[in-house]
Amino acid sequence: QCGLGRGERGWFAGVAVLGLSLSLSPRELPSPSLSPSLPLLLSLSLLQALRANQDLVPAGAWDCEKSLRKVLEEIPKGSFDRPQAAAQVVPSLEGQTLLNVNHLKCASDIDNLPLSPSPSTAPAGGMISVDYTVADRRHSIHDSVTVEISSGQVLFKVLEKARAMYPVRFRFEYAMTFWGESITGIRGIASNRTAHTYWQFLSGSQPIPRGVGSYIPSDGEHITANYTTW
């Protein structure tokens, strides 16, 4: 069984194989604000762990092909464009783990992965409109703005445009990580690891699947930066 989700105390990742389990408590995991692609990173790590122990996994308990199809669906979306992400996904596509990475011969591989075309949000060179909201119930903050960016630009550009329009209401701080830009504070309200608070980015009511430096919004999309707990 392979699980990844949010429990009552925060992020949880676990691998259970024939009664043996590996689990990480919320205090042992990095804050989502510092690891914007944490669910993706853990999913790939769990995939490698299951592959390394697949001879111990009961028949029917894990669908490897389904896991790989999900990974392949994410490739055209740019989920693994950054080197850190690519380093995690390549071994899984080879049917290996990071323990075997020095034996891989990628240059000799046949290009036979069934990739779908990259999605487009608007005609090349066109402009799109994105609604952006900053919400924090603790400090009674709820500000919205509509910005225009070029099609194909990442969410981080939306934040920059909003800040340029309203420097006080939409100011933000960020840190550069291996996975790209990570928002550490908005309007002077910083993420706090001790208090388990961070700025979560939502598309509609759903968390975005990638960080602000990788996620590409679509025309008319409503993005919310919500100050919450993990």
- Which DSSP string do the residues of the chain spell out, in sequence order? -EEEEEETTEEEEEEEETTEEEEE-TTTSPPTTT-TTHHHHHHHHHHHHHHHTGGGSPTTS--HHHHHHHHHHHGGGTTT-SHHHHHHHHHHHTT--GGGGGG--GGG------PPPPP-SSSTT-EEEEEEEEEEGGGTEEEEEEEEEETT--HHHHHHHHHHH-TTTT-EEEEEETTEEEEEEETTEE-BTTTTEEEEEEETTEE-SS-TTT----TT-EEEEEEEE-
Which residues lie across from 192 on neighbouring strands? 197
Is 11 assigned to a binding site? no
Is 88 assigned to a binding site? yes
**Which of 43, 32, 77, 74 is closest to 226 using CA atoms?**
32
Cα-based angle 67, 72, 77 (whole degrees, multiple of 5): 125
Q: In the structure encoding, which two tokens stand for residue 43, read together?
A: 């999913």
Binding positions: 88, 230
Binding positions for cyanocob(III)alamin: 88, 230
